[in-house]
Amino acid sequence: MRFYTLILFVFLMFSCGGNARKTTHTPKPKATKVSGKVPTYGYEIVNAYSHDSNAFTQGLVFWNGFLYEGTGGSKARGDDFFSSLRKVELKTGKVLKKLNLANEYFGEGIVILDDKIYQLTWQSGIVFVYNLDNFKLLKEFRYSGEGWGLTTDGTNLFQSDGTHVIRIINPRDYKTTRTIVVFDEKRKPIMKLNELEYVNGEIWANIWQQNRIARINPENGKLLGWIDLSKLAKGEEKRTRDANVLNGIAFDQASGRLFVTGKKWSRLFEIRLKLKK
């Protein structure tokens, strides 16, 4: 009898201890697991269009048949180019509408949502919100850290800040609701996430100075694949004297067309992806 009583006593002691640990300690969230090699995609050129080689492209959007482009630069920093917001004709590259930012602001990524254009600034911590039709300034929001890329899933905004973190933002008050972190196949953070585009349920992110695009799951930050556009970028560097890195993704949701360009590139490309063997 004593033997069974002793076993019961030990069982109760361990049970109580287990419950106590559960109530006094909160488990730490686990990082997203990334395992296995992800696919790498190449491209084929479908069309090439003219692009303003003075445009230091920071953001690119395709909307209702037109391109909208945010450019960076500031004479206050000694740049020979300046920040602007533009409406551009696709086939000719002609700038149809243009708003120059004040000289103290370095423009960054843009996005269109609910007939408004949101435009980030690099280090000023301000996002400008404009009327889509006439570029009239409607409001400003403040945010912490740097502003790099911006996109939307039609409800939320997604913002990069030059790190491996993407913020999910409520567009009504510009408050961050959650964040995702992005790692490569080797569990290393993918830094310098730059201009963003939402494509068929994925976030596509230019990686600054790498001339490639990361395909990212917006729910958990998991890396889904790479798009290698280094050959395209090298071609533009040879063609255009001041051509800089790849930066600019625009997706035509209606037709599935995909457009890319870069900082001070003389051309904008419509491309089709193909899996690399």
SS3 labels along 20-58: HHHHHCCCCCCCCCCCCCCCEEEEEEEEEEECCCCCCEE
Q: How does 207-233 read in b/e, with b if 16+ C-beta sit within 10 Å?
A: bbebbbbbbbebeebbbebbbbbeebb
Q: How far is CA 77 from CA 11, 72, 80, 82, 208, in A?
A: 71, 11, 9, 10, 20
Domain 35-275 has CATH 2.130.10.10: yes
Which phi and psi (to 5°) does residue 61 adopt? -140, 140
What is the mean predicted confidence (pLDDT) over 8-35?
36
Question: 277 pLDDT band (50/70/90 cuts)?
Answer: low
In the chain, where the domains are located: 35-275
**Residue-level pLDDT at 79:** 83
| pLDDT of 2 over the 80 cut | no
Token pair 């450019």 in the structure block, residue: 71
DSSP strand pairing (223-228 vs 40-50)? parallel
The H or E element spanning position 3 is helix 2-24
Other CB atoms within 10 A of residue 64 CB: 9
Q: How far is CA 70 from CA 63, 151, 177, 213, in A?
A: 14, 13, 25, 19
The H or E element spanning position 236 is helix 230-239
| pTM, rounded to two decimals | 0.86
Distance of alpha carbon 68 from alpha carbon 251, whole angstroms: 12
> Which residues fall within 8 angstroms of residue 216, CB to CB, at 6 or more apart?
166, 180, 182, 202, 203, 204, 205, 222, 223, 224
What pLDDT digit, counting tens, does each position of 53-94 carry? 999 999 999 999 999 999 999 877 888 889 999 999 999 999
What pLDDT digit, counting tens, does each position of 91-142 carry? 999 999 999 999 999 999 999 999 999 999 999 999 999 999 999 999 999 9
SS3 214: strand
What is the mean predicted confidence (pLDDT) over 203-207?
98
